[in-house]
Structure formats: structure tokens, C-alpha cells
Amino acid sequence: MSLGGVKDEAEIRGHRRTYVGAIPGRIIYAMKQVGSINPVFLLDEIDKVSSDMRGDPASALLEVLDPEQNSTFRDRFLEVPYDLSKVLFITTANTVDTIPTPLLDRMELIEINGYTLDEKKEIAKRYLIPKKIKENGLREDLVEVTDEAIVAIIEGYTMEAGVRNLERQIGSVCRKIAVRYAENPSMDKQVVDEKAVEELLGVRRFSDERAHLEGNEVGAATGLAWTAVGGTTLTIEVSAMPGKGEILLTGKLGDVMKESARAAISYIRAHADEYGIPADAFSETDIHIHVPEGATPKDGPSAGITMATAILSAFTHKPVRNDVAMTGEITLRGKVLPIGGLKEKALAAHRAGIKNIIIPKDNEKDEQDIPENVRSDLHFITAAEVGTVFHNAILGL
């Protein structure tokens, strides 16, 4: 049962029989169709429910999903209690931010991670490519898509947690090959390799993450971030200029990320002597922290140690290793606090060709969630104190 765009409470509870054209709600109607008292009931896109003057469907769903109430669910059309307690309700959503808190409180939250590169490749080989070949009137003996081409499509033309855009791009490739066969039926078998992908789909839409690794630089550190479409690498740049001690933050940063930057500055300022930074350096220097791709909103505390590393590098004029990425929250005492999304962040580092990842000590247990083929290529450095981060990330410190 799709809930996308549902605005009327009567869709859930039904209409009173006094109204012309009154019918039961969609819950009771579906139970009548299935003919069972204990079915599995899927409520799709529950985060797309909205309310208007006709009521709030989310409030009506409270009675449906609450195990303490749904044994006596009352549809307005039937006007008799109906037992929904034996039904297994499963709801789906893209985000929990738009789901009312009382409704979310009645559900067990299961977060499903996005597909890895290898998983997407296998889905494309086993399902998407045969499906699109058939849909476009081709035969599998006429078209071959190499593994390299699939990877090129995934990395260069899609940026998503699922495979919806991947399916579209594969469909586009198959349609263009079908046109070629229509124009020349005697044409030989078409092999789509990495070079052919660019001919068929045009210039890459998304840049190669490896291109950002240009060498060890002063005032630039590589962080790892989690987004709705998976993990990504995040370069943080710091510039220290003569001034009056002002702090400038750019790159469309959220409030939490701005606070992390100020915490990182305060920690380094408090421990300036340990790193050979003059006591008056901060009062006579303006600090500009920038996170590239300024059109993309960024937030969260997990870039704290990355910012601290870039700031210390800028003040000590010592470069940061380009083969190290990091993630973790920093405190004023220099503690490195745990973060979420380690699996996605590790996959992003692996895609970017980074071999060393600094993670909080408390996230060590989460390494088991990372696929074995990725984990074996990475060297994890655990840090409980920010000093460990600086020692492993900054050259010559």
C-alpha cells in the first residue's frame, strides 16, 4: 500500500456511512482482499504522508501501528472493532526526518545501507543488463558489456545508494546500440568497453575521486563523510593569513560543523606550545576554513579531527599525508569520539585509492561491517586522542 501523497485521514480510517459514496479505509479494504488475519502488510513511502484540512493520516496510523491499540482498530465505515494485532506491518522511508516523532516511536528502525561497488556490479551483470537487452529488442549474443564498462558507468554517471540511475544509464546504452542494429542489421556483435561507454553516454558526469590526491599539501587534509547516497571523501582546506584573529568558515557548512571547527581551533590554541606555535599567532592571524563543492550542504561533527589536522598543518607549515583519510569528532580535551557510517566511509576511501584510515578507538568494533575485500586493502589506525591523529597524518611533526 503506497502512502505517497496521502493527505486525507479517511484513506486510513474510511468514511462514515452517512456520506454518499462512503467506502472502508484502505487498511480494511486490503485485509478483505488478502483474506487472512495475519498477513505481511507493507506501507510504502510513509515519509511522504502529508496533512491538510481533512486531517492528518499520520495520526490515524498511530492506531494502526501501536500494538497496544490496534487489536481494536475501528474503521468508520464498519463501526466495529477489528483486530490488527496479528498483522506484521513493514514501512519504508527514504528519511526519518519527516516522520512525526510519535509515529516513529512506535516502530523499530532498521537502516539498510546502500550497495557497494561490487554489489552494484553483480546486480547489473545478473539482472539489469539482461533486462534492458530484452526490453530494447536485442539478444544477449549481440551485446556484451565488460566489467570495466559497468564500473565506468557506476563511478562516472551515477551517484546513488541504490541502482535506479544505473538502470537508466544501462537502458540508454542498450537503446543506442539498438539504433545501430536498426540502421545496419548485419553489424557484428557490439562489445561495450570503458572507451565505448564515453562514446555512448557522453562525458563523465561525476569526477574520479582519485583526481583529488595531488600530493602532500600544507593546510589540506582528507576527511570522510556520510551522505544519503553513500560515503564520500571530503577535502578540508585551511589558510592562515595576517589579521586580527578572525575565523571565516565557507563551503555551506551547517551549525554542528561550524562548532566542530571552533572546537578544533580552541584545542590547538590551548596546546600551541606543544607544537611550537607562538602564543600570539592566533590573535594576529585570520583563519579561513573552506570545504570545496560549496553548493553542497555539509554538516555533522565527524570532520572535527580533519579540521584540527588541517589547522595545525597550516600553522606549523608541515604537510599532511595524501594517503591518509580520517573521520572522528574532537573535544576540547583532545578526545576522539565515535562516529556513524564507517562502512560507507571506508568504501569511499577505497574508491579514492586511500590506503590508511584514522578512525576513533570506539569504532574499532564496526570494522567487521566492512566487506572483506575492502578491509584487506585498508590499514585502520585507531585513535583515542587527537595527538595520535596528528602523529600519523602530519609529516615531520
Q: CA 233 to CA 105: how far, in whole Å? A: 33
The dihedral through the CA atoms of 53, 58, 62, 63 has a sign that is positive
Catalytic residues: 302, 345
Instruction: Look up cell 495475519; give the residue.
Output: 38
The DSSP output letter for 125 is I
Q: Select from 152, 195, 189 the least CA-distant residue to 170.
A: 152
- The grid coordinates listed for 300 are 555533522
Q: Are 347 and 374 in contact (CB under 8 A)?
A: yes
What are residue 336's DSSP bridge partners?
Answer: 330
- Within the chain, residue ranges assigned H as helices are 10-13, 26-34, 57-65, 101-104, 117-123, 129-135, 147-157, 164-183, 194-201, 255-270, 304-316, 342-351, 372-375, 386-393
The span from the CA of 56 to the CA of 49, in Å, is 8
Closest by CA to 230, choosing from 292, 309, 294, 166, is 166
Show the CA angle centred on residue 46, arms to residues 42 and 52, nearest 5°: 130
